[in-house]
Amino acid sequence: MAAEDLPSQFDVVILGTGLTESVIAAACSRVGQSVLHLDRRNYYAGNWASFTFNGLLSWIEEYKNQQEVQITESEQVWRSLIDEGEDVVPLSTVDSSISNLEVFCYASEEEEKEEETKAPLTSCQPVNAETVSEETNGDSTEAQDTVTGDDATASDTQTQNEEQEVPEPQEEQHTSDISEPNQSQEEKESQPISSPAEPPVEVEKKITYQKLVKEGRRFNIDLVSKLMYSRGALVDLLIKSNVSRYAEFKNIGRILTCRNGKVEQVPCSRADVFASKQLTVVEKRMLMKFLTFCLDFEQHPEEYQDYTEKPFREFLKYKKLTDNLQDFILHSIAMVTQQTLTEEGLKATQHFLRCLGRYGNTPFLFPLYGLGEIPQCFCRMCAVFGGIYCLRHSVQCLVVDKASNKVKAVIDTRGQKISCSHFVVEDSYIRDEQRQSTAYRQISRAVLITDRSVLPSESDQQISLVTIPPLESSAPAVRMVELCSSSMTCMPGTYLVHLTCSSSGTAQEDLSPVVSQLFHVSTTPGEKPSEGTEERSKPAVLWVMYFNMRDTSALDSSSYNLPSNVHVCTGPDGNLGSDYSIKLAESVFNHILPDEEFCPPAPNPEDIIYDGEGPQAEGPGFEESSNTEADKSQAEEEGEKSPSTESSEPTEVDSVTQQSPSDTTPSSEE
């Protein structure tokens, strides 16, 4: 919508399109509030955004240029709009939430001419067949592990981000399905003639920087790395609000840890424990006994009451667990620090265990096309119920009524004065003079593109969560998420790796030792390690970006000198899940509208009455219909009773499909 067309009155004006702000926008719009949602950026989701590789390169350039921008805007324009009895609170024009950004490229920068000349020398059919089989593997794995919502709305969601194109991957999936049988026949026919043509295929997998740029649209790179607990606040909200129909999800296939320089799988479910080769029989019994205790530890306070004020690690020692088991529980199951108290550690372990088995063998889900899809899904819900969106559009200042000390209007970057009852703003828009303190925690982040998995397995299409214990006692633990191409976040033949930890220095200082430990980092672009060395067995880093992100989750409303109807939303926190952001959104909503329900379910499209006389209500509209109409349609409804029952409860079946073999996925897919 053009700036000149903006109405001059809204109930709620929201600045920033991060997850918390987007959830608040959807919740307010859903209950009938008029919402204006703005963002100074040219993309949705703020620091929660996902970029294509080319889009990320552009974002890096914008970040570097932004640091040189000085606040030189004239205040005369909006000063003339201020009346007597009004005061002004100016907002920041520069985003300083990202710092210490460093980029390194280790992929060969040579042109792709070599591949073109090599292709005619060796049969190109095996190359295509391998590529097709890889994509088909991704498709079949995705069919098993993917949680599907409404297909049309899922594809529509992608169009909100200008950098993303859904049709391209979809076309590849269709072509791979069609071409696979033909390729396999050609391979069989050509096998007796040119059987030696197959081995060079492995050697030819050379990924250059030009290839990454050329295939840049296949990447969806998140600025923040998080997963979704299957019984976490975010998944519960997606189900309750019906927003899950706008997205698709994939299971996290395995949980790994790094011990003594080796990456190994963490046994977290009963089946994993008994199948584990890293644990002795005694350790398996000890682990199962402890995990069973954690499920209902509140019923046995005598077991831990002496350790409530002591670190969780000491309680694990008291339980006589081996060092091996202590590391598994502390870093890979509870995912807490050495200083975490016992009760908090027990709650974290319990939450992990309760999330197991809901949608798969691990507690986690990941949204296809990246985490940036989730804020966009809530923005879509807000827009469906009348919210107005403007990107590349911001607010210069807040207009405050001196008598009540409340914001009564905002003045946007076009000089328009817009009245509002409440103003919700992302933390990065607040100036330092409006803060009680400018001391922040920081998150260290690294994003890597690699050529293979840290722990190769039979299926190369698995998302892995890797926990890396601190290399030193004073250093923080590092969390790593490795994404495969079937997650729609990277091109086939590569992996996208996210590393996250709480900062003790710059991101490069914190994370480069971990990168060097697990990956091969060449000294010159394109260099390969020599044969027989340990580096040869490690995945090669093709490209890496380090940066620090500000963590303001420790701040609350008392941390700002702002009017009472200004609600500040902090950015992403350092935890693996998104529970903090969802609870903050609910808290802000309840402060704005204490008598309204938070994100009530949106009606299914098939449940909306288009030719009815009354409003298009969900429940009462059907109950108030005449008996004759009900009698006439009763026979038709009975014939379609099974589908309507499924659609009336999309929360557990349609929106987030169960993934274990015993669940209802096959029948629902059929």
Q: Is the pLDDT of residue 444 over 90?
A: yes
Residue 462: is it exposed, middle or buried by C-beta count within 10 angstroms (0-12/13-18/19+)?
buried
Q: Which helix (H) or strand (E) holds 315?
A: helix 312-318
Q: Is the pLDDT of residue 380 over 50?
A: yes
| pLDDT at site 225 | 97
> pTM for the complete prediction?
0.78
Strand partners, 388: 36
Convert the pLDDT of each residue in 238-277 to its tens digit: 999 999 999 999 999 999 999 888 899 998 778 888 888 8
Beta carbons within 10 angstroms of residue 610's beta carbon:
5
Instruction: Give yes or no for residue 136 having a pLDDT over 60.
Output: no
Q: What is the pLDDT of residues 478-537, one digit of tens each?
A: 999 999 999 999 999 999 999 999 999 999 999 999 999 999 999 888 777 766 677 778
pLDDT in tens, 67-115: 544 444 546 667 778 888 899 999 998 899 999 999 999 998 877 554 4
- Give residue 365's identity as a one-letter amino acid code: L
The 10s digit of each residue's pLDDT in 536-568 is 789 999 999 999 999 999 888 889 999 999 999
Closest among 549, 561, 551, 566 to 439, alpha carbons compared: 551
> Cα 238 to the chain's mean position, in Å?
13
Q: Report pLDDT for 76.
A: 62
Mean pLDDT value across residues 16-37 = 97
**Contacts by 310-314, CB closer than 8 A, 24 or more apart:** 310/341, 310/342, 311/338, 311/339, 311/340, 311/341, 311/342, 312/336, 312/340, 312/341, 312/342, 312/344, 312/345, 312/346, 313/338, 314/342
Residue at token pair 């499920």: 295
The pLDDT value recorded for residue 603 is 83
